[in-house]
Chains A and B, each alone.
Chain A
Amino acid sequence: MHKTRIQDLVIGILVMALGIFMWTYTMGPRVSDANKSFSRFVLALFIGLGLILTVISIVNGKKPRGKEVSIKEFRNPMIMYLLIIAYVLLMTKLGFFSASILFMPAVMLYMGYRKPIPLVCVTAGMLAFIYVLFVVQLKVKLPDGILF
């Protein structure tokens, strides 16, 4: 089986698994009829499409379709994602501005940017813009932790 088809097969199976898991909820005794009918209609569609993708992947297994994705391609995006998660966690602990002061230069450095002046200026400029717009103008209370 071609690798792109294996990818599609896995997607199809995951879709069906999620759909079936959610279907079990509609079998509960406290679920109303109206609620049940719409949920089941949507889930049947979801599971059905997952099944179609699975069958197509198996039937046309040898023909490539779409782009082959290698695990290596996930490295940078996943590190970026971890940085974003760390940023969100820091935001709740340290506060929005403190977390942003750490996050923005960290991303720039990770992306290989080494010029200190633009790095500092972009961070400071962006946070000043956010402060003026959101805090001063829109009166949004941003997450504040132990710092600011």
Chain B
Amino acid sequence: MLANMSGALSELLTIDAAIGLLIGVVGGMVIGALPGLSATMGIALLIPITYGMRPSAAILMLAAIYTSAVYGGSISAILIHTPGTPSSAATCLDGYPMTQKGEAIHAIGISTVSSVIGGVISSFALLLIAPPLARLSLKFGASEYFLISIFGLTLIASLAGDNMVKGLIAGAFGLVVGLVGLAADGQFRYTFGITGLMGGISLIPAMIGLFSVSQVMIQSDERGKKKEKAEVAEFKGRFIPPAKEFLGLLPIILECSIVGVFIGILPGAGGDIASWVGLNIAKNQSRHPEKFGTGIPEGISAPEAANNAVTGGALIPLLTLGIPGSSTAAVLMGGLTIHGLAPGFELFDKYADITYCVILGFLMANILMGLVGWAAGRYLTKVSQVPIPLLLPCIAVLSLLGSYAASRNITDVYVAVVFGLIGYLFRKYGIPTAPVVLALILGPMADKYMYQGSIIASKSDLSFFQYMFTRPLSIFFMILIVAALFAPLLSKAISKAYSKKNGTIEAAEDI
């Protein structure tokens, strides 16, 4: 690993990487602070900007957006009582009361310090856990990769939201869409003679349509509605918490960070769950649990450390096994794919310079996020008050341009437009869109490895399914799949219990 560090550092010290890092951190913060825009949509929207960049700088930028957006969400949660992302909903409970008490800057300072520590710890976890896990992937064959893709598909259940059947339908729809184009055996299917469909439905335009174009349509419903201008508090107080206060908060920040990393690694559980779990840990360990919700620093530090720690944790299964544990990670995986990078051991061997550059850069992004937050956090609230009519055409233009820039093909713009309508209708009727993306990525992967596995199995006169039972690693993955099917029920019960206990607040829509 150390041998790869010098190459990674030289990648990291390029102008491209520095620009990517800065754009990622600032852009992520702005996206996070805007209620209604999440890290998922931000990454989908900004992937096209990375086309001309070096892969290291591109992935670094996307990873920086991820962590920064989670932090950015806390700023609007604290200042205007509106969580910028679902991960910041728990922060509202104590953040806004602190603002009302005239301690807005102090609250942002605590959120910044906690988010940075959570992010830094998760970066170290990524650096230490991912490489050995990736080495394990060397032992995988077609059947294991097939089962990994099926394992990834089981996450659909956890992304399904309230209605499990609709979530599964969304996933199955993604699989159906993934059928279009060239099959694993080289045959075209469902192209209906349209040349533009022969390469299949492109992932990036589909994602942009599902997340961004549909969001433009949903936000257009704000037309004519008089929106009360959120009251922005006066900016008073000290940004950096005093040493005594910081040392008092440190144990809970560290504990929540570690918990956050593990929640991130768990498929399907994301920053929103982590923040509630973190808040609950802080409450259980506090000598004054009754003070939570009245505006106390622990109520901010715990969820913020936990939700930022999730980001590095979520990158571990993504980079090593190709399992996107959340919708944001799924979109990030799309970013890896378009830069020709496939998750697994190769990322830590052949492309080690790029991967370690991204990991080290991710660590730097978390630190830079704190510095930018310190310098500009208070002004980000202005961003959250940008009028929607000015924002919508910008998102629409960037979405369609992004779809076009992917392959410089106008067909991809049509794909984005069609998927925009699909995404809008899905969201309107309570069908989640994240499973579509997950299935769109993993479906063709499952198809390919099932085909390859069948050929290998036929040489031993076995069916593919019989062949899988001859491999211990495959059996391990089968057990994992069964376990994963029950995980969402457990995580949903935990999340519900925590949010009920702490009192929920209407979170920004998870897109």
- Note all chain A residues with C-beta closer than 8 A to B389: 107-108, 111-113
Interface string of B157-180 (1 = CB under 8 A from A): 000001101101100110110110
CB-CB nearest in chain A for B413? A88
Please judge, given known A-B contacts A38-B451, A84-B400, A88-B414, whether A52 and B165 are in contact too, CB under 8 Å.
yes
Stretch at the interface among B214-222, B255-263, B376-384: B214-222
User: Is A15's CB under 8 angstroms from B169's CB?
Assistant: yes
User: Is B392's CB under 8 angstroms from A73's CB?
Assistant: no
- Note all chain B residues with C-beta closer than 8 A to A122: 390, 393-394
**In the complex the two chains form, what is the Cα distance from A45 to B156 in whole Å?**
14
Please judge, given known A-B contacts A84-B400, A140-B408, whether A77 and B176 are in contact too, CB under 8 Å.
no
CB-CB nearest in chain A for B176? A46
**Interface members, chain B 180-222 (any A CB < 8 Å):** 183-185, 187, 189-190, 213, 216-218, 220-222
- Note all chain A residues with C-beta closer than 8 A to B178: 42
- Note all chain A residues with C-beta closer than 8 A to B510: none
User: Is B184's CB under 8 angstroms from A130's CB?
Assistant: no
- Note all chain A residues with C-beta closer than 8 A to B222: 111
Partner of B213, one of A73, A84, A104, A119: A84
Partner of A32, one of B173, B185, B420: B185
Min C-beta distance of B135 to chain A, whole Å: 30
Please judge, given known A-B contacts A53-B169, A81-B217, whether A35 and B421 are in contact too, CB under 8 Å.
no
- Note all chain B residues with C-beta closer than 8 A to A126: 393-394, 397
Interface string of B410-434 (1 = CB under 8 A from A): 1001100100110010001111000
Please judge, given known A-B contacts A43-B176, A80-B220, whether A73 and B428 are in contact too, CB under 8 Å.
yes
User: Is B52's CB under 8 angstroms from A32's CB?
Assistant: no
Is residue A22 contacting chain B, with contact meaning CB distance below 8 A? Answer: yes
**In the complex the two chains form, what is the Cα distance from A107 to B408 in whole Å?**
25
User: Is B410's CB under 8 angstroms from A143's CB?
Assistant: yes
User: Is A92's CB under 8 angstroms from B410's CB?
Assistant: yes
User: Is A84's CB under 8 angstroms from B172's CB?
Assistant: no
User: Is B221's CB under 8 angstroms from A77's CB?
Assistant: yes
Min C-beta distance of B20 to chain A, whole Å: 13
Partner of B172, one of A49, A87, A111: A49
What are 14 of the A-B contact pairs (CB < 8 Å)?
Answer: A22-B190, A32-B185, A42-B172, A45-B172, A52-B165, A53-B165, A81-B424, A84-B213, A88-B413, A91-B400, A104-B393, A104-B397, A105-B393, A134-B401
